[in-house]
């Protein structure tokens, strides 16, 4: 057990570090940039989340569900529906729970809160997946350690643009660099927390992974459709295409990382 916990702590600690490294992109920026760059960053965040929900969450959920008593599509569809319902409820509650937290208008605050929440939810099953892989390697098959390390490396590299996808839009909304970095970095702290918890309860958690993965996917897709793409593009004139280009760039980059490192 101790070895499994140590290995899982190292793997998920790396994935958290990469999230924080991506969030640190705010310190490389100068002052407040133009509205076009703001829309580009929101679009980039949307593209990253679309690709992550497909390749990192829904496809693995379907693959893990194959061979079970239920149809392979049921956990993906059911979990996604639960994730969407959860975010709809949070969408309604958040403005009342924290009315003046960021001293911005309600729409911007709601988008900020939902974006951070969705990416954080997405990181939970990723941390659990790393925890399970290191637990199996430590308890039964030490030859599986390279595969567990490769999984942690792949998720860590994918987390870099996710950290930036949170912190950069926050910075463009006028938030201070330190606070934007902190929120972006903390979205990844759930990975070591849930990774270690999964090691302690590996047998009970593993059958639920398809539902957890698809739950996070549904939550992410809700935020993309409800908040990010409209704010990046549809609520503005179409003299520029920065929001659309941001979506395409984020989607392609995350897709390449998921497929190449998956």
Residues 200-221 have pLDDT tens digits of 886 677 788 788 888 878 877 8
Residue 22 tokens read as: 């991506």
Share of the chain above pLDDT 70, in %: 79
Q: Which pLDDT belongs to residue 49?
A: 78
Sorting pLDDT into bands at 50, 70 and 90, what band is 13?
A: very high
Q: Which pLDDT belongs to residue 17?
A: 94
**pLDDT(35) > 90:** no
**pLDDT(196) > 50:** yes
**pLDDT(228) > 60:** yes
C-alpha distances out from residue 133 to 69, 155, 197, Å: 23, 13, 13
Q: Which carries the bigger pLDDT value, residue 261 or residue 76?
A: 76
25: Cβ–Cβ under 8 A, 6 or more apart, which residues? 163, 164, 167, 168
What is the pTM for the complete model shown? 0.66
Burial letters 33-50, b for 16+ CB under 10 A, else e: eeebebbbbbbbbbbbbb
Tens of pLDDT, residue by residue over 81-127, are 998 898 788 767 655 444 344 344 445 556 667 777 777 877 887 78
Q: Which pLDDT belongs to residue 181?
A: 92
């Amino acid at each position: 057990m101790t070895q499994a916990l140590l290995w899982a702590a190292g793997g998920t600690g790396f994935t958290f570090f990469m999230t924080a490294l991506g969030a640190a992109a705010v310190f490389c920026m100068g002052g407040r940039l133009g509205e076009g760059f703001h829309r580009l960053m929101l679009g980039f965040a949307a593209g990253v989340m679309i690709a992550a929900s497909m390749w990192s969450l829904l496809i693995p959920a379907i693959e893990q569900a194959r061979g079970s008593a239920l149809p392979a599509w049921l956990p993906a569809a059911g979990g996604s529906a639960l994730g969407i319902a959860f975010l709809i409820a949070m969408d309604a509650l958040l403005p009342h729970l924290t009315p003046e937290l960021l001293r911005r208008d309600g729409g911007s605050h709601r988008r900020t809160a939902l974006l951070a929440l969705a990416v954080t939810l997405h990181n939970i099953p990723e941390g659990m997946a790393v925890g399970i892989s290191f637990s199996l390697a430590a308890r039964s098959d030490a030859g599986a350690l390279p595969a567990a390390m490769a999984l942690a490396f792949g998720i860590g590299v994918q987390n870099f643009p996710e950290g930036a996808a949170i912190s950069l839009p926050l910075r463009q909304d006028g938030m201070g660099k330190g606070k934007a970095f902190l929120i972006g970095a903390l979205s990844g702290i759930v990975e070591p927390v849930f990774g270690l918890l999964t090691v302690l309860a590996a047998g009970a958690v593993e059958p639920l992974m398809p539902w957890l993965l698809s739950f996070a996917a549904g939550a992410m897709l809700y935020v993309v459709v409800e908040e990010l793409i409209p704010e990046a593009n549809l609520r503005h004139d179409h003299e520029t295409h920065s929001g659309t280009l941001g979506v395409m760039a984020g989607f392609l980059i995350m897709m390449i990382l998921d497929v190449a490192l998956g």
